[in-house]
Amino acid sequence: MVCIIHASSLLLLHPSKFIKNYSSLPLHHHHQCFTKKRLLILRCISTTSSSNNSLFEVREIKENYKTWDWKGYKINYFHLQPTPQLGLGLGEAPPPPPLLLVHGFGASIPHWRRNIGVLAQSNTVFAIDLIGFGASDKPTGFSYTMELWSQLILDFLEDIVQKPAVLIGNSVGSLACVIAASESTSGLVRGLVLLNCSGGMNNKAIVDDWRIRLLFPLLWLVDFLLKQRGIASAIFERVKQRENLKNILLSVYGNKDFVDDDLVEIIKGPADGEGALDAFVSIITGPPGPNPVQLMPRISLPVLILWGDQDTFTPLDGPVGKYFSSLPSQSSNISLFVLKGVGHCPHDDRPDLVHAKLLPWLADLPAL
């Protein structure tokens, strides 16, 4: 324990000294002090030494897109192998699990641009555009559901990843991961990381929040209007105007400096594509899908919950936030951290805070 504390303090204060001193230790010292924590330490070293280079350019991500055929539809995904680790002579360790990143409503793979580089220093990283979003197909007249997205995730794990993976999702992407984990029988879901998980595909799922009940008549009116093609098109065109998108993003981000032109384009670009209006209408007006309150008790896998306390979409004091906040006291497999000053998209809002909790949690996952 003393060795671990000393190593951690040296790592944080003088990472170059850590590398010099601990790479020269006899191998048996490494096994005594670092066998269980070596992945964590390696990740921390890599993150510390490359923190200025962790942002992936959107162009760089798009240049490495791949395509997967799913039920006759083109699904867009990204795949990055881990970068070589520092050679500290720690001996062989079990390979860390691959990660599958699943975006939220209106987002796509580049929304993970501040995370991919850091995560790929230790893990194989996959990211996917759910059908209806990003560069994946947006078929006309298609009915989008949470169950459909969760099945897409499970099929992707089986066809492309082909190894037990950790699912990392934001917003509705989190809920899709929860559904997938609750239904998986193949053993391909290794763990869950939920970033401000939503209660459903749309707000109609949250019937026990007085704020939503107050707006419920308005929600049904919006559904009615969106089913009128001309009205829906006018609303959609207005929503996706750059200035409007930026104002919406500013309202859901705690870190306003990260609401940049690239972020606006990440949301706007796919919304300009064919089929985007149909996807928007179907998702807003469709059934909200399974409730996480019924799903989470089925999950015995390790779960990490990270929640921005400035989230206006799924606030901590709302029914969804309160439910997830209560889980760690009920289940030993669940960990929760509230991130101060962070909004609905923690991974892009304050990636440093997310990585500080996520990397140690990944390092501590029990070996298969």
Q: What is the pLDDT of residues 26-44, one digit of tens each?
A: 433 334 334 444 444 444 4
Q: How far apart are CA 235 and CA 231, in angstroms?
A: 6
Give the pLDDT confidence score for residue 91 in this predicted structure. Answer: 52
pLDDT band at 19 (very low <50, low <70, confident <90, very high): very low
- Inter-residue contact 104 to 173 (CB < 8 Å): yes
Give the pLDDT confidence score for residue 221 in this predicted structure. Answer: 74
Q: How far apart are CA 83 and CA 121, in angstroms?
A: 5
Whether pLDDT at 201 is above 80: yes
Q: How far apart are CA 258 and CA 254, in angstroms?
A: 9
Burial class (CB in 10 A: 0-12, 13-18, 19+), 3: middle
Give the pLDDT confidence score for residue 244 in this predicted structure. Answer: 95
Q: How far is CA 83 from the centre of its chain?
A: 21
Task: Tell me whether strands 189-195 and 165-170 are parallel, antiparallel or unpaired.
Answer: parallel
**HSE, side-chain direction, 13 A CA sphere, residue 238:** 6
Give the pLDDT confidence score for residue 83 in this predicted structure. Answer: 72
Residue of 317 and 83 predicted with greater confidence: 317
Residue 95 structure tokens: 């390979």
* Rounded average pLDDT over 163-191: 96
- Inter-residue contact 222 to 313 (CB < 8 Å): no
Mean pLDDT computed over every residue of the chain: 84
Choose which CATH entry (3.40.1390.10, 3.40.50.1820, 3.30.930.10, 3.40.50.300) describes domain 36-363. Answer: 3.40.50.1820
Whether pLDDT at 254 is above 90: yes
pLDDT band at 208 (very low <50, low <70, confident <90, very high): low
Q: Kindly report the pTM of this predicted structure.
A: 0.83
Radius of gyration of the chain (CA): 21
Cα–Cα separations (whole angstroms), residue 207 to 144, 210, 217, 218, 320:
21, 8, 12, 13, 11
Beta carbons within 8 Å of 317's beta carbon, 6+ residues apart: none
Q: Among the listed ranges 22-26, 114-118, 123-127, 316-320, which one has the minimum average pLDDT value? A: 22-26
Q: Which residues of 221-253 are buried (b: 16+ CB within 10 A; e: fewer)?
A: ebeeebeeeeebeebbeeebeeeebbebbeebb
Q: Among the listed ranges 22-36, 102-116, 203-217, 281-295, which one has the minimum average pLDDT value? A: 22-36
* Rounded average pLDDT over 95-115: 97
Question: Could you give the angle at which helices 27-34 and 2-13 cross, rounded to 10 degrees?
Answer: 100
Give the pLDDT confidence score for residue 335 in this predicted structure. Answer: 97
- Inter-residue contact 357 to 328 (CB < 8 Å): no
Q: How far apart are CA 74 and CA 90, in angstroms?
A: 42
User: Residue 274 gets which letter from DSSP?
Assistant: T
* Rounded average pLDDT over 137-164: 97
Whether pLDDT at 5 is above 80: no
pLDDT band at 331 (very low <50, low <70, confident <90, very high): very high
pLDDT band at 230 (very low <50, low <70, confident <90, very high): confident
Dihedral angle over CA of 87, 89, 90, 92, nearest 10: 80
Q: How far apart are CA 163 and CA 311, in angstroms?
A: 33
* Rounded average pLDDT over 117-141: 96
Give the pLDDT confidence score for residue 49 in this predicted structure. Answer: 40
| Backbone φ, ψ for residue 127 (5° rounding) | -140, 145
* Rounded average pLDDT over 74-98: 77
Quick one: three-class SS letters along 136-175? CCCCCCCCCCHHHHHHHHHHHHHHHHCCCEEEEEECHHHH
The residue type of 286 is G
Structural domain spans, the chain: 36-363
Residue of 49 and 205 predicted with greater confidence: 205
Instruction: Count CB neighbours of 308 within 10 A.
Output: 31
Angle ∠(19,47,4) on CA atoms, nearest 5: 50
Q: How far apart are CA 101 and CA 79, in angstroms?
A: 10
pLDDT band at 225 (very low <50, low <70, confident <90, very high): confident
User: Residue 135 gets which letter from DSSP?
Assistant: T
Residue 190 structure tokens: 């290794």
* Rounded average pLDDT over 48-70: 81
% residues pLDDT > 90 (the chain): 68
